[in-house]
Amino acid sequence: MLTSKLNEMKLLYKPLLLSSLFLMLSCEKELYKDPIGLITPDQISSAPTVGTITSSVDGSYQMLSNTLNLIGEWAWNQGTVIRPDFVLKDIASDDVQKKWNPDGDQPWMDEVAGFRFTSNNGAFNGIWSFNYEGIARANQAISYLTNTELMATLNMNEALKNRNLAEAYFLRAFYYFDLVNNFGDVPVILKPLESFNEAYEVAKKVPAAQVWEQINADLGAAKPLLTNSKYSSDTEKWRISKGAVIALQAKSALYNQKWADVISLVSELQGMGFYNLNTNYFDNFSVAKEFAESEVIFAYDHQTGRLPRNGNGLCALLDWGFVAPTTSFLNAFEPNDPRLLYTVNASARNVNKLLGSTDGSNKGNDDAPTNKIYIRMADVLLWKAEAYLETNAFTDAITIINSVRQRARTSPTIDGTPVPAGTLADRNPASTNKEEIKNWLIHERRVELGFENQRFNDLKRWNLAKTVLTAAGKNFQDRNYLYPIPQGEVDKSGGTITQNQGY
């Protein structure tokens, strides 16, 4: 499994300080800290084996996890205790507040929530660090797998080589997807960096359009390397599949408003026949159903009791009172919508969707087995509905929205009883009012995908963030459509990495 194989990563990576892309050479104590992306000769095997190469791929997944202290030992202010997606995409939105009982704990999260932050806020350093470390690991794997001389000496199984290369390409694309959505223009690094001179050479942002081109190039390279199967490995079902690649291609098209491509790619994914809406909504999130349901396309596979640790540390934060719904989010649900309690039980203060249970199990467990879901079919179908809407195929858009509502109302309630008759009635299939249908779509995405790191990015790409978040009492400004580059990165680059406008 992934976690057991990660032990081999010690052959490839020493413990790196992963909080920055570059060193501040003028500061003596920083001279001993390696920048993200820098792989020095003593950090890699001088004679790579098939095992170390596959481990380099496996290690590239790790920066997507919610495991605690992967790149920082309780460095809360640096944003590195846990991957801070839930801060930047949920707490920043109108769905989630930092804690059930607001307090002064982790004030950097409050600064993000209220859009009162500066470029020194640890959330930005954290997400930058996780993503660029993931990219560095993927680059190392790609450099091995595309080295024809090395591959010839190892006699690596062709199918294994292709699958590993596809995984590395996908993961690099995934990390860059997150970076470009958070920061816009960012440095693009496509190979392992073996000297400080190389590090300085890449310390320059490239236009966001070029980042998107690289994302699409990596996904295009990954796709033909994978088999037409639901799982690329029958024994390690957490690995990237062709379906995940197609889904991320569709999401890239969505974020760039290439509506025809969204429709085509989602149709291609549906044509594979592997993914459908689960009959029961909560099967997506239940620990007991992991890799035994039909909807999840890509998730990080957390596992408990492994060395090195690979559990979901966010479950510990939930027991510390973090991650609570806003009143606005709770009020967004229509009467008797079973998705509300499956998402969050406010009376028990359990975020069931994140715990993977409906009885509070895993709460407080810093090594929980709950997977982190990144892409599932309901999300994908609503992308297609949006593309249909934007191309004035109103009936097709409404049909998809109603299919998501139907699954919700036919799921049992959290206590196992049927949903009351009349719950979540279909939207009028004859409507041609584009604004009305768009509001239906916005509503459905909010209640279907709450607490899944989607809301803030949705508001941004719909150009609704300022209107909605200002109404929610947040200090959102036009500059906040992009987050600031971590100030430490700007400083350490000597200014070659420029700060985003307004910061």
pLDDT per position in the chain (503 positions), as tens?
433 343 333 333 432 323 334 432 233 333 224 455 554 444 455 679 999 999 999 999 999 999 999 998 999 999 999 999 999 999 999 999 999 998 999 999 999 999 999 999 999 999 999 999 999 999 999 999 999 999 999 999 999 999 999 999 999 999 999 999 999 999 999 999 887 778 778 889 999 999 999 999 999 999 999 999 999 999 999 999 999 999 999 999 999 999 999 999 999 999 999 999 999 999 999 999 999 999 999 999 999 999 999 999 999 999 999 999 999 999 999 999 999 999 999 999 999 999 999 999 999 999 999 999 999 999 999 999 999 999 999 999 999 999 999 999 999 999 999 999 999 999 999 999 999 999 999 999 999 999 999 999 999 999 999 999 999 999 999 999 999 999 999 998 888 999 999 99
The pLDDT tens digits of the residues spanning 1-11 come to: 433 343 333 33
- Neighbour tally for 228: CB within 10 Å: 10
The pLDDT tens digits of the residues spanning 277-334 come to: 999 999 999 999 999 999 999 999 999 999 999 999 999 999 999 999 999 999 999 9
CA nearest to 357, candidates 346, 373, 341: 341
CA nearest to 83, candidates 191, 149, 175: 175
At residue 45, the pLDDT reads 52
Answer yes or no: are the C-beta atoms of 129 and 21 closer than 8 Å: no
Tokens read off for 462: 């719909």
The pLDDT tens digits of the residues spanning 400-434 come to: 999 999 999 999 999 999 999 999 999 999 999 99
Answer yes or no: are the C-beta atoms of 22 and 199 closer than 8 Å: yes
Q: Cα(280)–Cα(293) distance, rounded to whole angstroms?
A: 10
At residue 250, the pLDDT reads 99
CA nearest to 243, candidates 255, 252, 230: 230
At residue 396, the pLDDT reads 98
At residue 194, the pLDDT reads 80
Secondary structure letter of residue 10 according to DSSP: G
Answer yes or no: are the C-beta atoms of 206 and 173 closer than 8 Å: no
At residue 143, the pLDDT reads 96
**For residue 392, with 0-12 CB atoms within 10 Å meaning exposed, 13-18 middle and 19 or more buried, which class applies?**
exposed
Q: Start-end ranges of CATH 1.25.40.390 in the chain? A: 1-225+464-492, 259-461
CATH 3.30.70.120 fits 1-225+464-492, yes or no: no
State the fold for domain 259-461: 1.25.40
At residue 195, the pLDDT reads 77
At residue 25, the pLDDT reads 29
